[in-house]
Amino acid sequence: MPVAYTIQPTYAIDDATLLETDLTTCTLLVLIGGGTFSYAVLAPATRKFLALKSYSYQPKTLAVADLEMIEHIFDADKLLFTAFKEVLLAFESADNTLVPEALFRSQLKKDYLHLAHQEKIQEAVLADNLPDLGIVNVFATDKDILGFLRKEFASDRVVHAHSALLKAYQTDQDIFFSDGVVFIEIHAQQFTMTIYTAGNLLMQQQFIYRSGLDIVYYIVNSLRQLELSEQQAKIRLGGALTQDSQVYQELYRFLPRLDWVQKPEGFQYIPRMNDIPAHHFHNLYALALCV
């Protein structure tokens, strides 16, 4: 007998604006990560976010794959079947690598990726061109999940979540700080670290962690390898993290210049979005910069 799942969002944020808007004029921003599925509705004409919803799931058996859980979300959330004007799909995957634009050759994208990451059987290899940074973000995602979402949304617009983060960080004046700035986007069990100094991108990488001390170690080790100091560099945090959490307290013990990222500027947000901390869903809001 098939197992029945009741999928409920961990966050559901909207107001009357959503019902008053013709959604066929709007853009749907979809972010898929390990055990998460989130989306936001953006009205391009007013550059206003109208709604946000986020699901977290843990397959109950090894036989239940991420794709099956996403299918259950589609069964439960009818808003996903709206005929949006545009749909952007973004994947939060550790399997990505940055290649200098001058050296990039499209026919070699798998070779670039597999120098850093082991090839997987069910992978689709894609690339984001980031001309403002002079780099190309080559990444892999699950072929079946990508095929399902492309079919359901009738959309070929696909990016990597790290590309959106880079676009967001490029608008932050702290990237020109000569002592360095470290952006940390934290999720359950993994985080993405991006380091700039004097306007130059030095690194971006995803790591697995079990405690805040693991994150401290990676930050300190990376900064010292780049001949920067953890006592002087600015540390900016994004993700579903609170100041009273154990992870934050462990970071605060060792990193004196700790602060939060802010929502991307140039957009409007409904009041309920402004009621939650600005660093929550930073990676989801950043997708609007890729449209």
From first to last of the 291 residues of the chain, give the pLDDT tens digit.
Answer: 345 556 789 999 999 999 999 999 999 999 999 889 999 999 999 999 999 999 998 754 443 478 989 999 999 999 999 999 999 999 998 899 999 999 999 999 999 999 999 999 889 999 999 999 999 999 999 999 999 999 999 999 999 999 999 999 999 999 999 999 999 999 988 999 999 999 999 999 999 999 999 999 999 999 999 999 999 999 999 999 999 999 999 999 999 999 999 999 999 999 999 999 999 999 999 999 999
What is the three-class DSSP state of 53? strand
Tell me: do 165 and 208 sit in the same domain.
Answer: no
With tokens 């934050």, the residue in question is 248
Tell me: do 107 and 188 sit in the same domain.
Answer: no
Convert 250-271 into a string of H (helix), E (strand) and C (coil): HHHHHCCCEEECCCCCCCEECH
* Phi–psi pair at 156, nearest 5 degrees: -110, 10
Beta bridge partners of 192: 185, 206
Tell me: do 71 and 212 sit in the same domain.
Answer: no
Tell me: do 147 and 281 sit in the same domain.
Answer: yes
Tell me: do 101 and 198 sit in the same domain.
Answer: no
On whether the CB atoms of residues 202 and 169 are closer than 8 A, the answer is no
Helix axes 143-153, 66-76, angle to 10 degrees: 20
User: What is the rounded CA–CA span in Å between residue 50 and residue 189?
Assistant: 30
The structure tokens listed for 266 are 């140039």
Tell me: do 17 and 138 sit in the same domain.
Answer: yes
CB count within 10 Å of CB 141 equals 24
Tell me: do 128 and 81 sit in the same domain.
Answer: yes
Q: What CATH number does residue 235 fall under?
A: 3.30.420.260
Total structural domains within the chain: 2
Give, as one character, the DSSP assignment of residue 290: G
What is the three-class DSSP state of 170? coil
Tell me: do 114 and 242 sit in the same domain.
Answer: no
User: What is the rounded CA–CA span in Å between residue 228 and residue 251?
Assistant: 17
pLDDT confidence of residue 246: 95
Tell me: do 117 and 186 sit in the same domain.
Answer: no
On whether the CB atoms of residues 64 and 7 are closer than 8 A, the answer is no
Tell me: do 166 and 225 sit in the same domain.
Answer: no
Q: What CATH number does residue 139 fall under?
A: 3.30.420.250
Tell me: do 29 and 111 sit in the same domain.
Answer: yes
Tell me: do 67 and 145 sit in the same domain.
Answer: yes
Distances from the Cα of 16 to the Cαs of 54, 271, 284, 288, 289, in angstroms?
19, 11, 21, 22, 25
Q: How many Cα atoms are found within 13 Å in the side-chain-facing hemisphere of 284?
A: 30
C-alpha triplet 184, 190, 192: angle, nearest 5°: 30
User: What is the rounded CA–CA span in Å between residue 222 and residue 107?
Assistant: 32
Q: Which domain holds residue 200?
A: 173-260
